[in-house]
Structure 1
Amino acid sequence: MEAWPDDFRCPISLEVMTDPVILPSGHTFERRSIQRWLDGGHLTCPVTNLPLPPSPPLIPNHALRRLIAAVSPSAAAAAPVPAAGGGSADEGKEASVAAGAPSSVLALLSLAKSGAAGRREVLESGSAAVLLRHTAAGDEAAARALLYLSLDGDDARVGLVADGAVDALSTAVSRGGAAAALAATALTSLATVDVNKCTIGAHLSAIPALAGLLRRGGARERREAATALYELCKLPENRRRAVRAGAAPGLADFAADGSARAVEVLGLLAKCREGRQELCRIPGIVSVLSGVASSGNARAIEQALFVLNWICSESNELALEVIKLGAFQLCEALVNDDNCKIAKNAVELARTLKKA
């Protein structure tokens, strides 16, 4: 019984519910327990103490009832956890995730992965709170389930943020480990909604946690952290927050390792003065960007030229360094590129360097 999450227990009897019903106050109780409360003449909600209407309706919480049934000891032992991609590698990964996860989390993960109807069951039952607690504790299965829930549309994304998902995901990112990359990916999904960009960016831990993951994570963790920062930094205010959180050096290091996404985030940071000034202070930044501009993919080349132009506008010393690295020859080679954005950025960089 100690393994059952609090959300599955009746607030009155503290026992796992078998027939959960919802009061008009929004709280769920075991039918027998709340009926005894009401029959005893109580006119308030046992949780909130707010008044209830006369003869309040008891609405069956079908979604929560199915979830409780799904994680009963017999069901948890028999039910397999489906693989995300259907391949043997994914099945092995899911099995390793499942090995250390509570049965309640595994049932929620199965529902979240089963499709839109399953995700709605989890969200409407209020069981996302279970996943939030386990995600904050570093549970990979819970973080994966939250990621699936975030794919259920903008309303679900806003609702998850309102329920405290940013706290849980930021904590998981800060903790590192297996759940960190999934938590960063979930933050990316939540940030696709504009209002969430603002909420996540304003959170005290979210952007600093992503910046930290860039510095200490492995290749996958760094990639997901950079992608989350890219989505968040589409909002101008978040660019300054990312700079203050120390994201720029980590992005520059990741760009040096060949990450086109890191270069794209640097391009967003260069759009604010605070970001340009920080970029100018990073040792070796000119060499990194020149290397990307010489041999990266099209998007990376475009952004590397863009950032070089900005920082050379800020620092005459860096402009001279770029020239020594053969920037004029590079620009000359790119001005006729089929990609008009690359050609345009090459022309603008050449103009800036001529002023140095």
Structure 2
Amino acid sequence: MEAEIQTNYSYMGRNFNDLCLNGDDNSTAFSDCNSDRSGEFSSASSHNRLLLLACASDNSDDLINQLVSDLDSSSIDVKKQAAMEIRLLAKNKPENRIKIGQAGAVRPLISLVSSSDSQLQEYGVTAILNLSLCDENKELIASSGAIKPLVKALKTGTSTARENAACALLRLSQVEENKLAIGRSGAIPLLVNLLETGGSRGKKDASTALYSLCSVKENKIRAVQAGIMKPLVELMADLGSNMVDKSAYVMSILVSASEGKTALVAEGGIPVLVEIVEVGTQRQKEIAVSILLEVCEESVPYRTMVAREGTIPPLVALSQSGTSRARQKAETLIELLRQPRSGNTAARPSGVSV
């Protein structure tokens, strides 16, 4: 179950009417982090069969109450088993997510997220992620103190724990009040690191979480200071990857801050964006021209840099064959690039000659 972001859409409270396509390209920009992708049971014991039946039935209350009680056991093995089974109950049946939250599982699961036992931590993180798929649980999880332990798991956990912690933080960030708390907890540099060094799923999860968090200006600055532009530019330059759209959308919200524009230029982002305007997909071209327009609107030096990259010919082509919004933005950018390049030198970045 992955919700695609279609054309003419809003996502996480942001309207993409200025960026979306009106054509038939329904390629996914972001896929929401869903429940974990870990394996199921390795054996077919009677207890496991009982759990599987509970996942599929409406009569899981007694089992849930027992598992929540087991989370407080003095035995690490009992805690692991309980956390794993709660994870599966929450993963496989949405109704169970509410029941588990109401049964008092959140606080003991958060304590597992802080465990020094890597497997116990991973099970705790993943159970919290699956519970956070339910909107009713998001506030409960955050108010119960989950953010800092999830950030710790993002830093010290297994690869699965890191990915699932990123997803859980994404889910919590969908409550607007949590965005600043997550940003101030130290999550953003860790997400930037996951974007740069993680596997394909880790990069996707990190970009989606960063996209949500960076709708807040304070978090934009944190992301730029954490060096996010370098991996974004590198991922966008790899046109054969599945990260071009995701990276471009994250970049599109960062360049609304002057620090984001400066970092994009410093990391060599302009030639990459120009190449996308020339050879990218329709969606990618539209995002790229939107970013370039944002960069150029108030800066003559940046306009000069963009023009020197040979941008006008692909912009002219886009103005004739792109979507209606892409054509409009391309035409506006062409007009800007053809204006006399004098007068505005305030925005010139340090070390950039024009």
How high is the TM-score relative to the length of structure 1?
A: 0.67
CA contact (8 A) 2:277 2:315 kept: no
Aligned-partner Cα distance in 2 for 1:292–1:234: 24
CA contact (8 A) 1:105 1:130 kept: no
Partner of 1:57: none
Partner of 1:8: none
CA contact (8 A) 1:63 1:124 kept: no
Displacement after TM superposition at 1:326 (Å): 2.5
Which of 119, 122, 132 aligns to 1:150? It is: 132
CA contact (8 A) 1:226 1:251 kept: no
Aligned-partner Cα distance in 2 for 1:172–1:158: 20
Aligned-partner Cα distance in 2 for 1:64–1:220: 30
Partner of 1:164: 145
1:333 and 2:317 are equivalent in the alignment: yes
Displacement after TM superposition at 1:266 (Å): 0.6
CA contact (8 A) 2:80 2:123 kept: no
**Given residue 352 of structure 1, which amino acid in structure 2 is its aligned partner?**
L
Displacement after TM superposition at 1:349 (Å): 1.8
Aligned-partner Cα distance in 2 for 1:349–1:183: 40
Distance 1:296 1:188, change over 3 A: farther
- Give the unaligned 5+ runs of structure 2: 1-60, 342-354
- Residue by residue over 1:114-173, the C-alpha shift from the partner in whole angstroms, topping out at 9 and shown as x without a partner, is 4233212321232223332333455433332222111111x3111111112221221222
CA contact (8 A) 2:71 2:108 kept: no
Aligned-partner Cα distance in 1 for 2:263–2:72: 54
- Residue by residue over 1:26-64, the C-alpha shift from the partner in whole angstroms, topping out at 9 and shown as x without a partner, is xxxxxxxxxxxxxxxxxxxxxxxxxxxxxxxxxxx9786
Aligned-partner Cα distance in 1 for 2:290–2:154: 30
Partner of 1:263: 248
Which of 192, 205, 209 aligns to 2:174? It is: 192
Superposed counterparts of 1:61-210, under 5 Å: 65-67=65-67, 102-137=80-115, 138=118, 139-153=121-135, 155-175=136-156, 177-201=159-183, 203-210=184-191
- Residue by residue over 1:209-267, the C-alpha shift from the partner in whole angstroms, topping out at 9 and shown as x without a partner, is 11121222222211111111111122333222222232222222222234211111111
Secondary structure of the equivalent of 1:336?
helix
Distance 1:71 1:279, change over 3 A: closer
**Given residue 115 of structure 1, which amino acid in structure 2 is its aligned partner?**
K
CA contact (8 A) 2:64 2:86 kept: no
Greater RCO, 1 or 2 (C-alpha within 8 Å, sep 6+): 2
**Given residue 280 of structure 1, which amino acid in structure 2 is its aligned partner?**
V
1:276 and 2:258 are equivalent in the alignment: no
CA contact (8 A) 1:143 1:182 kept: yes
**Given residue 336 of structure 2, which amino acid in structure 1 is its aligned partner?**
T
Superposed counterparts of 1:335-354, under 5 Å: 335-354=319-338
Secondary structure of the equivalent of 2:256?
coil
- Residue by residue over 1:71-121, the C-alpha shift from the partner in whole angstroms, topping out at 9 and shown as x without a partner, is 899xxx9xxxxxxxxxxxxxxxxxxxxxxx921211211221242332123
**Given residue 152 of structure 1, which amino acid in structure 2 is its aligned partner?**
C
Distance 1:125 1:299, change over 3 A: same
Distance 1:134 1:257, change over 3 A: farther
RMSD: 3.0
Which of 254, 269, 288 aligns to 2:272? It is: 288
Secondary structure of the equivalent of 1:102?
helix
Aligned-partner Cα distance in 2 for 1:313–1:221: 34
- Residue by residue over 1:180-219, the C-alpha shift from the partner in whole angstroms, topping out at 9 and shown as x without a partner, is 1121122222212222223322x23111211121222222
Identity %, equivalent residues: 29
CA contact (8 A) 2:71 2:109 kept: no
Count matched residues: 269
**Given residue 233 of structure 1, which amino acid in structure 2 is its aligned partner?**
C
Aligned-partner Cα distance in 1 for 2:284–2:171: 23
Aligned-partner Cα distance in 2 for 1:121–1:317: 58
Partner of 1:91: none
CA contact (8 A) 1:63 1:125 kept: no
Rg comparison, structure with higher value: 1
Question: Which deviates more from structure 2 when the two are superposed, residues 309-318 or residues 205-214?
Answer: 309-318
Distance 1:144 1:240, change over 3 A: same
Aligned-partner Cα distance in 2 for 1:220–1:294: 28
Aligned-partner Cα distance in 2 for 1:143–1:274: 33
Aligned-partner Cα distance in 2 for 1:198–1:62: 38
- Give the unaligned 5+ runs of structure 1: 1-60, 78-100
1:237 and 2:222 are equivalent in the alignment: no
